[in-house]
Structure 1
Amino acid sequence: MKAISIIGPKNSGKTTLGLQLAEALKDMGQTVAAAKFSHHGFDWQDADTTEYAKVCDTVAGLGPSETFVRWDKHNFFPDLFPLLSADVLIVEGGKTIGLTPRVLCLNGDLKDGTDWLEPDLAIATWGEHTLASIPAFDSVEELAKLVMNKAFLLPGLDCSTCGRENCKGLARDIVTGKVGPEACLAMHNSIKVDINGASIGMKPFVENIIAASVREMLRTLKGYAPGKATISLDV
């Protein structure tokens, strides 16, 4: 699953851009999920998530005291990945989450500057303001093409096996072109686990335990031979 975040100040048009981008991606034949962060919770008449639901295949909301698709408690963003099975995930808000590249929505008053938007994670800007080092877009169709080429989603394990302190550090290096998404060793190892089409990352320590256990059990089966094994499991 590819993912992109839309980050910007309050009332900068993030939802409008998210809806337009979702429609453009759907026109390209992609399935689209949306996740919206809110600092104030949801009143279940929330206009933004309602509008996303009209366009997207799946919609999730993450607030300070609840999460939906739906738990009556707070959950972490990566917990939702298996439930948001789609080709592309559009994330609105969540400026502290560094698991995806981001589009900066830069309309209105930027009195607080742009550093808090972490532009080193941005692949594009949208709106009346621009940043010299980041490509500016005014065509949703062209932005959708960029998303299909540049979007990625890291697992949020912060395991440091890639050599960076956390996933956000790796995301920065992917955005700047220093490495590709395959530098995430938690997602590119000897075991591939998909839940409802969403890849699940695992730390090398966990990978080694699972791999060793499965290999030893497979060796006891008739018909066993060394090679690449494919296991399908309902969970």
Structure 2
Amino acid sequence: MIPFPAVAVVGYKKSGKTLLLEGILETLHRDSPHLRPHVIKHSQEPLPSGMEDTMRLFPHASTVEGLFREGSALLTHKLLPLPTYPEEVEGDLLLLEGFKEVFRLPRILCLRSPQEWEELSTGLELACFSLSPMEIPGVTLFGPQEIPELTARLLTSGFLLPGFDCGGCGKKSCRALAREIVAGKASPKECVNDSSQEISVQVGNQRLSLNGFTGNALRNVISAYLKTLKGTGDGPVTIRFRL
């Protein structure tokens, strides 16, 4: 898999997650204005004020799109899947806020106390951030003044695995491979699910794992059948049906 900058900012409430992300975005805007960050935020909080009227429509509609001066917001009852491959990201890097249960990309932990390191560490930590100084044995903490350094680390060491847990890399799960990548013992290129292959299959909202052999075999079978039909030309092929 081609390396792609991605990281999840994880921590408890009021630990500085949004402040850190804001600082990363400001740093990118200043130092790398050509990059387009894609941010996905997970929150248990209600929608912010200013959308009360829009939310009155939401319980009785499948989808509501709000158009505002600053842009638009799409509200849907569906739980949209996280990107599987880099080309599904609408930008050049992916920043997640929250998502403690996602283990296929590195993390920046936002900590309020040393105890939270014990509670949140998973071996996926690219760095740790804190709003106030503290001592944690064996852990280097970054503060608000060091956000540019954290941003540089994200750009060079961030990555996104598909989460298929196919075992094609020789590891038992994407989480296991991700931990070895963070530890410097493996590379994202060891993932065999290459997003650049010429065929992809999606069932519902879930993209299926296809290695090079199965992907090529499926593509060849479908191509051979389609070429027997009249009117078949060159170009992308879309086939939809229900299992």
TM-score, normalised relative to structure 2: 0.67
Picking from 82, 85, 104, the partner of 1:77 is 82
Alpha-carbon separation, structure 1, partners of 2:87 and 2:139: 31
Cα shift at 1:182: 0.5
Match of 1:179 in 2: 186
Alpha-carbon separation, structure 1, partners of 2:74 and 2:86: 11
Alpha-carbon separation, structure 2, partners of 1:70 and 1:84: 19
Would the aligned equivalents of 2:15 and 2:110 in 1 still touch at CA under 8 Å? yes
Would the aligned equivalents of 1:155 and 1:187 in 2 still touch at CA under 8 Å? no
Would the aligned equivalents of 2:199 and 2:219 in 1 still touch at CA under 8 Å? no
| Structure 2 unmatched runs, 5+ | 52-70, 201-206, 229-233, 239-243
- C-alpha offsets along residues 163-221 of structure 1, whole Å, 9 cap, x if unaligned? 2222111110110111110111112675477xxxxxx773227524334336747999x
Match of 2:99 in 1: 94
Match of 1:154 in 2: 161
TM-score, normalised relative to structure 1: 0.69
> Structure 2 counterpart of 1:101, which letter?
P
Match of 2:218 in 1: 210
Match of 1:43 in 2: 47
Higher relative contact order (CA 8 A, sep 6+): 2
* Greater Rg over alpha carbons, structure: 2
Match of 2:19 in 1: 16
> Structure 2 counterpart of 1:75, which letter?
L
Determine helix, strand or coil for the equivalent of 1:78.
coil
Cα shift at 1:93: 0.8
| Structure 1 unmatched runs, 5+ | 48-57, 60-67, 194-199, 221-230
Moved more, 23-32 or 132-141: 132-141
Superposed, which structure 2 residues align to 1:125-164 within 5 Å? 125-127=128-130, 128-129=133-134, 131-138=136-143, 139-164=146-171
Aligned residues: 198
Would the aligned equivalents of 1:9 and 1:110 in 2 still touch at CA under 8 Å? no
Q: Percent identity?
A: 27
Cα shift at 1:133: 4.1
Alpha-carbon separation, structure 2, partners of 1:46 and 1:114: 36
Would the aligned equivalents of 1:32 and 1:88 in 2 still touch at CA under 8 Å? yes
Change (3 A) 1:10 1:23: same
